[in-house]
Structure 1
Amino acid sequence: MRIPRPFAALAALSMTAALLTVPITNAGAETAATAAAGSATVVPLQVTGDPAKRFNLIIMGDGYTEDEQSTFAADADHHLNVLWSIEPYKSYRNYFNVYRVDIVSGASGVGCDPDLSAGRKTTPLSMGFWGGCNASSVQRLLTLNNSAANTYANMVPGTRSANRQILALANSGTYGGAGGAYATASGHNSMSALIAPHEIGHSLGGLDDEYSYYSRGVDGGPYAGGEPASAHHTLLTGQQMLDQHKKWWRWLGEPSEAGGVIGRYEGGLYKSSGVWRPSEHSIMRTLGYYYDQVSREIMTQKIAAKVSLIQSETPTAAPVGADRVLWVEPMHPNTHSLTTTWSVDGTELSGHATSLDLRSLSLPPGTHKVTATVADPTGFVRDPAIRAALTATRTWTVDTGLTTTPVATGPGFLSSTPTGLPVARDEVVYAETPHPDDHVPTVTWALDGTRLDDTDGDLDLGAVQLTPGDHTLTAASDGQTLTWTVDDSLPTTDYELSEPLAGSGDAYVYNGPFTMRLTGQDDQPGYVVRESRVDGDGWFNYFGWPTSADLPWTFSESGTTIDSLTYGKLPRGAHTVEYRSIDAAGNYGQPKSFTVTTLAPPPACTTTITGSRKGSLTVTSGVTCLDDADVSGSVTVRRGASLVVDGGTIRGGLTAASAAEVHLLKADVSGSVAVSGTTRALVIGGSDIKGAVSLTGNTATETAVVTGTTVHGAMSCAANAPALSDAGVANHLTGTAQCGALAP
């Protein structure tokens, strides 16, 4: 197949990896010795066009030995698929070429990991925590030898500092990264794939941190400067932003893509007060959430600035005849097409084709001005100045007295959506043909062998009625054919929770911390991104637990503090947890949900009884806990005392009058249960009661719940305030019941 230049070299690079050994000076070493050179192999992962006309993401590893290169490949795949799941990277994926540089290190790991006592390591990129093993820095600052990274990046032909982004991954499970001219991240920390888009927000987007601290655990104090230059920080009130048309006034009041509502939230720029940001949490503040609209708009602008919206066009330097076709070759986002508008002598023509056959216009004799305007209609942008930056024009002088001599062009395609990777069910697939002077080549699209109506170079799969499953898509032109796999098999997600107090279907009740594990599946290879959100807040990347990707996420009322940050805080009450997955092609799985109701935990025990207990038991003071005990008689709880029964059996009945708290949890009661006048908490959950149940006059101020419990006898409830609730999990009442909402 004939491949037009400069794509011949590009195709060759796509088919074979380039092997090159380069000497690197280890600038971070304690001695003047030169580190041994590391061999490096360039592996193209995604090539959408000439590197000189694309934004090139180069992922390189450090501290990975020859035997650990498969680990680096898996780390890179993980990082890349997480990046593609986040807007605007997802929509503008085609603007990127992606290359992996496999660098063999003589030593495994990087310097000062996890602390300064580990010392420096001699690796090709000299990566190290603590800002390169600097005691005055912070542990999470992961730096590298920029010159060495630049040398390895230069192995990718056609790339240069102005059109590429370097992402260096360290062979480490320790949390860390850095932005600036080069982004770094640890390769396989549970949160490491989220560090990269945050740091690229710095190095590419010029975004600032929205943290309220610089050193974790140390309050940043009040902001004392003037109006920040940062586009996503301000001293202005919401009304001042609206009145003065400044900062994020166009987005105020919108639901934030990072959760909550775009507004004004205090803290940012490493200060805890006196400065405000647009969202409660975004990726520039809390790893796991998306960019909010304010940051997403900036990132869209910065990504687009790295490419030319019009990649090529009919030459404009000299007048052209009216007997030919004019053309422009725009960029191709993954989720939509750029619009092309033609005008002649200031009059706009209808349609948005990327070619214009001047012969169809019957232009009067003389010269005319023809203009093509290519614009990005994305809803990610509201600022007119940024919108203008996402618009490009080309203008020709057309002289009807000139005659065009056609120049031969080769058949087939110049560039396309990559064919080696499955495409998403709603993706806009493109196939760019050559541009002859005398006609507009047609593209014949077919799905599973059935011809589609489209004849231009863009096909919006979202407008095609696909059936679930995988499909074969082809584009044919002038005897050449491209083939893609269309992935319309959506990813699925399973959840696994720790054992609840009570549960039925997708409803659960807990009276303490609980864990959640999400597992994503897809029929195509590649890392599957999993997400969850609570009560309609922002979607949050599921990465396991901050200390290990193998551990489940833990929810608790106060949260868990790790390295001065709090994770998994969930207030007491009823919550809806949604979950979904995103596959490597970019398909979103169907969101599903479960509900959890969290109750007050039992009080701390002052007396604990285990094993067998003969006879009856009377609790007169304090908190008595029956921990999987077997009480042969009845249990009585006096005024002000508390009882916690966790499992086990009471072979008699249970009576409590004016107790402080009564918790009957996953226990069997052979007799009847009578509880009255409880003042603080009454919880009966997951239990089996053979006799009658009477609940009267309870004024439990913290919790009043009977949930997931089987009652074989009659059940009556009266004068309970607040009214008793089943917390979303129905009870099984086999006898007569006069308990309102507790009856199924």
Structure 2
Amino acid sequence: MPPGNPGRIVRSLAALVLVSTAVLPAALELAGPSPFGVIGAGAPADRAVPPHTAVQRAELRTAGDAPTVDIRRTGDPANRITLVLLGDGYTAEEQDAFREQADRAWRALMEIEPFRSYQGFFNIRRVEVVSPVSGIAETESRGRNPATPLGMHFWCEGTARLLCADEEATARYAGRGEGPQYLIALANSTEYGGAGGTGVTTLAGGSADAGRIIQHEIGHTVGDLGDEYDSAPDDADYPNLATENAEEMRRKQSKWWRWLGVESPDGAGTVGAYRSANGIYRPTPDSVMRTLGGAYNLPSREAIIEEIYRRIRPTDTPVPAPGDVTGRPRLEVRPVPLTGARQLRVDWTVDGVPVEPQAADRSWLDTAPLALEPGHSTNVTATVRDTTDWVRDEAFRERYMTRSVSWTVVG
């Protein structure tokens, strides 16, 4: 939260549902066209759903004691991060309001980079929790908490605008997913408040600032980012905060040293080391982690992308499965799609020699034209790599953002 309202709650691994087995009104569109299907209540009527990503209908099932709707499916949940939106303090008659507010929240998140470009790495699920009472424990009702299913309340940890939820109850209603999940709880309140971090991300769903709040709070949750405002605690154990100045960063090659001197694409100035009143340095004069409505600075964008790739592979399951194949099949990899002109790069080799694939998007290679000797085994490898210049840690790119798959074609 902005000054005076800490938005990062105490780290609690139990609250972040990461299973290793693993909403804006219709008139408010995303910043650009999306290749992914949007389904369920609140979806714009004129938004086409391409056949290869269409989900014919919302999948309705029970998680805990509440119906769950998959409102956006970009790919296999085992290789996507699922954002699970739950409501608290919404009665049966107020579920339409929850659906609209949930739609507004996730759409606002997908308007800000890097989430806009990487929205294909996320599925969106809505859990319709019916409350016996309307509203939650707001600031004026300190000490008097209505019996809502998720137990959401302001005055968390003694801070008026810090909004918390019962993490065990929220996880129970969310249910176990097939892949990593982040839980986002919306309170039926128009007050200004929220929280983020390793716990359940929260926001007041009816607040006029709800979209900007989630953009800030999810930075804590997904990117492990710290607050950059002057009154934040003097804790620099975050990728966007430091105790060293720029000169010390360069000398130690620490924190965001690779970004020093680079002009921020959002117009927030040059990346450096700007000292806040609490004595902690931040990368730019301003950002969404300092002022609601801003943008993520470059070190923060890198941190978010890296956290995404720690959970998601750059490719879905190739076809056919890697290993021995016979005949002259078409070999296909399926990079996770990005939004925009840039896509993940695919390079092919045959017995170590680079070849150009037939597909315009480089996603498949037809082995029929290859001059293969009868009885000879040929190794074909496809390497998928995210070449974004929002990541400067090349060791990380090689380890997490690059994946090679190989087939042995038996002639």
**TM-score band w.r.t. shorter chain:** 0.7 to 0.9
Instruction: Choose which of 141, 144, 148 in structure 1 pairs with 2:169.
Output: 148
Aligned to 1:715: none
* Counterpart mapping for 1:360-375 below 5 A: 360-364=369-373, 366-375=376-385
**2:230 is the alignment partner of 1:212:** yes
Aligned to 1:300: 305
* Counterpart mapping for 1:350-365 below 5 A: 350-351=356-357, 353-364=362-373
Aligned to 2:408: 397
Aligned to 2:347: 341
| Whole-angstrom CA distance in 2 between matches of 1:278 and 1:82 | 24
**2:121 is the alignment partner of 1:84:** no
* TM-score normalised according to structure 1 size: 0.45
Cα 1:16–1:93 shift into 2, 3 Å = closer
8 Å Cα contact 1:316/1:394 also seen in 2: no
| Whole-angstrom CA distance in 2 between matches of 1:301 and 1:330 | 17
| Whole-angstrom CA distance in 2 between matches of 1:377 and 1:191 | 34
Specify the code of the residue in structure 1 equivalent to 2:85: I
SS of aligned partner of 1:204: helix
Specify the code of the residue in structure 2 equivalent to 1:163: P
8 Å Cα contact 2:63/2:173 also seen in 1: no
8 Å Cα contact 1:115/1:129 also seen in 2: no
| Whole-angstrom CA distance in 2 between matches of 1:385 and 1:55 | 23
Instruction: Choose which of 304, 312, 319 in structure 2 pairs with 1:314.
Output: 319
Deviations 1:13-44 (A, max 9, x none): 85245254846xxxxxxxxxxxxxxxx33233
Deviations 1:549-584 (A, max 9, x none): xxxxxxxxxxxxxxxxxxxxxxxxxxxxxxxxxxxx
Deviations 1:497-517 (A, max 9, x none): xxxxxxxxxxxxxxxxxxxxx
Instruction: Choose which of 85, 107, 122 in structure 2 pairs with 1:59.
Output: 85
| Whole-angstrom CA distance in 2 between matches of 1:321 and 1:240 | 58
**2:218 is the alignment partner of 1:200:** yes
Deviations 1:136-171 (A, max 9, x none): 5211221112222112212xxx725x5111110001
Larger RCO: Structure 1 or Structure 2 (Cα < 8 Å, ≥ 6 residues apart)? 2
| Whole-angstrom CA distance in 1 between matches of 2:185 and 2:263 | 34
Deviations 1:181-225 (A, max 9, x none): 3211111222222222222222222112223324xxxxx6xx5x8
| Whole-angstrom CA distance in 2 between matches of 1:187 and 1:300 | 26
Cα 1:318–1:190 shift into 2, 3 Å = closer
Aligned to 1:165: 182
* Counterpart mapping for 1:617-696 below 5 A: none
Instruction: Choose which of 241, 246, 258 in structure 2 pairs with 1:238.
Output: 246
8 Å Cα contact 2:379/2:407 also seen in 1: yes
Cα 1:300–1:117 shift into 2, 3 Å = closer
Superposition deviation, residue 247 in structure 1: 2.2
8 Å Cα contact 1:258/1:281 also seen in 2: no
Aligned to 1:128: 153
**2:275 is the alignment partner of 1:266:** yes
Superposition deviation, residue 387 in structure 1: 2.1
8 Å Cα contact 1:322/1:363 also seen in 2: no
Superposition deviation, residue 355 in structure 1: 1.4
8 Å Cα contact 1:14/1:44 also seen in 2: no
Superposition deviation, residue 65 in structure 1: 1.3
| Whole-angstrom CA distance in 1 between matches of 2:206 and 2:285 | 28
Aligned to 1:100: 126
Deviations 1:493-541 (A, max 9, x none): xxxxxxxxxxxxxxxxxxxxxxxxxxxxxxxxxxxxxxxxxxxxxxxxx
Q: How many residues align?
A: 352
| Whole-angstrom CA distance in 2 between matches of 1:358 and 1:148 | 53
Superposition deviation, residue 238 in structure 1: 2.0
**2:394 is the alignment partner of 1:384:** yes
| Whole-angstrom CA distance in 2 between matches of 1:240 and 1:379 | 24
**2:334 is the alignment partner of 1:329:** yes
* TM-score normalised according to structure 2 size: 0.78
| Whole-angstrom CA distance in 2 between matches of 1:318 and 1:264 | 49
| Whole-angstrom CA distance in 2 between matches of 1:149 and 1:187 | 16
Specify the code of the residue in structure 2 equivalent to 1:237: N
| Whole-angstrom CA distance in 2 between matches of 1:391 and 1:12 | 27
8 Å Cα contact 1:325/1:358 also seen in 2: yes
**2:257 is the alignment partner of 1:249:** yes
Q: Which has the larger radius of gyration?
A: 1
**Structure with a larger share of its residues in helix:** 2
SS of aligned partner of 1:254: coil
8 Å Cα contact 1:48/1:95 also seen in 2: yes
Superposition deviation, residue 243 in structure 1: 4.2
Specify the code of the residue in structure 2 equivalent to 1:193: G
Superposition deviation, residue 77 in structure 1: 2.3
Instruction: Choose which of 140, 143, 149 in structure 2 pairs with 1:115.
Output: 140
| Whole-angstrom CA distance in 1 between matches of 2:370 and 2:54 | 42
Cα 1:285–1:145 shift into 2, 3 Å = same
| Whole-angstrom CA distance in 1 between matches of 2:323 and 2:288 | 49
8 Å Cα contact 2:348/2:383 also seen in 1: yes
| Whole-angstrom CA distance in 1 between matches of 2:69 and 2:119 | 18
Cα 1:241–1:118 shift into 2, 3 Å = closer
Deviations 1:700-720 (A, max 9, x none): xxxxxxxxxxxxxxxxxxxxx
Query: Where does structure 2 lack aligned partners over 5 or more consecutive residues?
Result: 1-52
Cα 1:347–1:22 shift into 2, 3 Å = closer
Specify the code of the residue in structure 2 equivalent to 1:263: G
**Structure with a larger share of its residues in strand:** 1
8 Å Cα contact 2:150/2:166 also seen in 1: yes
SS of aligned partner of 2:303: helix
Q: What's the C-alpha RMSD, in Å, of the aligned pairs?
A: 2.6
Superposition deviation, residue 316 in structure 1: 5.0
Aligned to 2:25: none
Specify the code of the residue in structure 2 equivalent to 1:252: L
8 Å Cα contact 1:167/1:184 also seen in 2: yes
| Whole-angstrom CA distance in 1 between matches of 2:86 and 2:260 | 39
| Whole-angstrom CA distance in 1 between matches of 2:54 and 2:155 | 41
Superposition deviation, residue 12 in structure 1: 11
| Whole-angstrom CA distance in 2 between matches of 1:177 and 1:126 | 14
8 Å Cα contact 2:298/2:390 also seen in 1: yes
Deviations 1:305-352 (A, max 9, x none): 332211011355642235222221111111122111011222211346
Specify the code of the residue in structure 1 equivalent to 2:328: D
Specify the code of the residue in structure 1 equivalent to 2:113: E
8 Å Cα contact 1:62/1:110 also seen in 2: yes
SS of aligned partner of 2:185: strand
